[in-house]
Amino acid sequence: MSASTPRAHRVAAFVAMGWAGILLLWAVYNCFWQVGVADFLQGIVYYGTGDGSGTAETFNLNWGVVYVAGGLLVLRGNTLGRGIIIGGAAIEGYNRVRSLSGALFDDKQAEYFTTTVQGGLKLATFAVGVAVTCTLIVLLLRDSAVREAWQPPVNPWTQQANEARQAQQAPPQQSPQPSHGFGAPQGYPPHPGPQLPQTGYGQPQPQPYAPQQAQPGYGPGPHGGQPAWPQPPQAQPPQPQSPRQSPPQQQQ
């Protein structure tokens, strides 16, 4: 059974196969109790008037096989099975209407269908056949008509332009890098390598910034001061020398 088969189609397939079972029961009854196996088998391919092949009701066998085959195809999601059941139901439904109207309104047939058990069962089969065939046609046609809405054909030029625009807008996908034996392949945890010995050198600590030295040429203030590089000694102006006084001479 296909998961994509609509529910109405599955119901129609089971109804068709159930109706096929009833028709095959009538064929078996006619074959073994009314006509005989030999005449019934002969009546499948030959219609004679001097033997029992002319009275063999092979149409029940034929429609039973058609409904079973169509139901199995519908359950598998094949559209051919839906066509087989719809066509078979239309033809058989028409024949059942003719048989039902003749059994009810023809005086010569009405006595047989209304006064005997076998005639009453056949009359009920005609009525059920009309209802079943109409139900099959409605189920298969209604669901197939509303299942899929019509869509306009796609312009190939417009489709190519849309695909190119989407390709430009989509982010590029990174392709997996092939492993060349230098590392662990992707998807597997890397193997732990050998532990290197500690050298004893600790991690360098961040050094505090040196105080900003004053820039030369800006005078006193927060940004002025003495230059940071050494300056040559400035020449001192000569100091005025006072005349040296001689000691007083002693008179003799």
Confidence of residue 193 (pLDDT cuts 50, 70, 90): low
pLDDT score of 245: 53
pLDDT at 226 over 70: no
Q: Pick 141 or 187 by higher pLDDT.
A: 141
pTM score: 0.55
What percent of the chain is modeled with pLDDT above 70?
58
> Across residues 8-27, what is the average pLDDT?
94
CA dist 99 and 124 (Å) reads: 11
**CA-to-CA distance for 95 and 63, rounded, in angstroms?**
12
Residue 44: its pLDDT value, please? 82
Count other C-beta atoms under 10 Å from residue 141's C-beta. 13
Q: What is the pLDDT of residue 145?
A: 47
Residue 136: closest CA among 96, 207, 84, 99: 84
For residue range 164-189, list pLDDT tens digits in order: 788 777 665 665 565 555 555 555 55
Average pLDDT rounded to a whole number, residues 91-118:
92
pLDDT at residue 205, rounded to an integer: 58
Instruction: Kindly compute the dihedral angle of the four CA atoms of residues 150, 79, 25, 98, in this order, to the nearest 10 degrees.
Output: 50
Give the pLDDT score at 74.
92
Across all residues in the chain, what is the average pLDDT? 76
Indicate the pLDDT class of residue 154, thresholds 50, 70 and 90: low
What local confidence, expressed as pLDDT, does residue 229 receive?
A: 56
Task: Give the pLDDT confidence of 81-100 residue by residue, as tens digits.
Answer: 999 999 999 999 999 999 99
